[in-house]
Chains A and B, each alone.
Chain A
Amino acid sequence: MTRVLGSTLLIVAILGAAGAPVLAPHAIGDQFRGLLNAAPTTPHVVDDSGHWHRPFIYPWTLVSQLEQRYEQDRSTRVPLVWFARGRLVGSADDSRAPLMLLGGDSYGRDVFSRLLFGARISLALSIAAALGSMLMGGLIGGVAGYVGGGIDDLLMRASDFVIVLPAMYVALALRSVLPLVLEPGTVFVLLAAIFAVVGAPFISRGVRAIVRGEKRLDYAVAAASLGAGHTRLLAHHLLPAARSFIVVEITMLVPAFIVAEATLSYVGLGFPDPVASWGTMLRDASNVRTFADFPWLLSPAAAMFLVVLGLNLLMQQTGVVPVMGAPPADARRVSRPALQSK
């Protein structure tokens, strides 16, 4: 059950991100100046007199400019049009009554569309960073575990040192000493690199423990005696043994990175404004008064919660408690359940 629910959440998120250009009724920059912080437009099928129609929405009319309060104009129905202008669904009259399934933000942009496009950046960034951590951590851990001795000591001391540090502050310090205003593409690469560095030690410690253990097993000794070189032995025989550990670790890193991006963007160190990521969207909710009155501005937080929940539900399968930096003893249990029972 948990597995089905978890994978459903993740599949929905990935499909939403991948299909954003088609699924989103608007582009990320589309502004409706008359609809700042407007409430969601719910699709209806029954009108006030009880007649059935094809799905339609009621347009908003501004009641109070100061409080940004809107009322539905129940006299006009604006029908929804399907598969028009390359989009799955949209309003028939975009200028007067745009379809805003999750309301508008403080610039009058559609929150739902930005949520879908934001998923692309937030998910892609965290997955790229997790893969970076995997490469770096796998390499460091593999070399440390295989070579041993002084190099092992040095690499593991360094890893332990980074693990002890509060990851958020390390990312914050590294990000803020770089130029503050950058192109979105540069920000993406830099953040992915920073997160990869912060996440790598969690992987390298476990990989090192596994490689060290595997190295002494018969199959590795046999491969070595048959003439496998160091690189081949490490890449073909020893590192694959750490595969399931790495998968588990990545499912823990991805949510951490999603949240880290959101935190950095929230304090203004993430992507520059017109770009939509879940963090930059949350920045719009940084004023308490605003988001108490306009709760739909918190929808990126809800999206983050659902994605993290989905990953945690999948983690239930492995029996590992999703805690960053749990001791490598757990790592060995994941990779070799058979060894544990002996």
Chain B
Amino acid sequence: MSASQYRIVQSSGASRIAAALGLIVLALLVLAPYWAGRADLRLLGEVLLYLSLASLWNLLAGYAGLVSVGQQAFVGLGGYALFGLTMFGGLHPVLAVLVAGVIGGLVAMPVAALIFRLRGAYFAIGTWVMAEVFRLSAAQVSALGGGSGTSLPTPVVQSLADGRDAREALSYWLALAMALLALAVVYGVLRSRNGLALTAIRDNELAARSLGIDIWRTKFTVYVIVGALTAATGALLFLQKLRISPDAAFSANDWTAFVIFIVVIGGIGTVEGPIIGVIVFFLLRETLADLGTTYLIILGMFAIGVMLLAPKGLWGMVRARSDIQLFPLRRKVVAKPKD
């Protein structure tokens, strides 16, 4: 048989069913402002923004091996960029979110050049220190309320859309668009040549270098993309909250600890993991939040349980039993049917 008798397939039966179901879920989500109450809509918006953060962190840590515990630096940067650009630059909030993303990407470049000198645990600590530097810097900006923070002025909020319902709907749709964009970018990167390179680096750095992969540049690209999208997500998070302070914007707990929890219990290093994780996390939060601190104890025990019993997360457990992929990344060589 000659090579021309083979072809490459990427989709599978499962992925086609998943795509069909995904479209139905997407339609329901797009229409949410018409069927969900105000509180539910806010919750859904938050879920979607967490999905964005989790997918991005998964690309960073699960695929590029860059275990950052300082992504709150970019969440906070995006939030503060939104406030600064709308309050002093006179930008429309939606435009400000886009510019916040660009700023996030630009800031990620020198940050990467600096912290890429660190390896493993030192890299993680470096990212955290960087986030603290950002937090302390933000507290120095008196125009944005210094250490106690500030609220988004009413005219800025009103410029978003007429009426509270319309504003909340728009804010929700922006969150939905952000989550879709993050998923699309993550999936797109992984399917591209860069994605192959990332997986190769993860498997064997020596062979990767010898086959022409510039490891530094590959990781740098991922870090900058993730920085940009994380900042845009941060801007949207604080567009929902309408209030910002250094402690809330650069919270390691909210923007990194919970995000890591989501990715790890869902399944790190899989596109599906963060989706599963974010659903589980919010189910736990919404059903147990009334328990106060007990809720955090249960959350911690749940995380420990998953790590012990299913170290590759819930989706990893599924993958161990069947080679199912909802977002197919495998390229299978199949023989063309004889005609």
Q: Do A and B come from one complex?
A: no
Chain A residues within CB distance 8 Å of chain B:
none
Chain B residues within CB distance 8 Å of chain A:
none
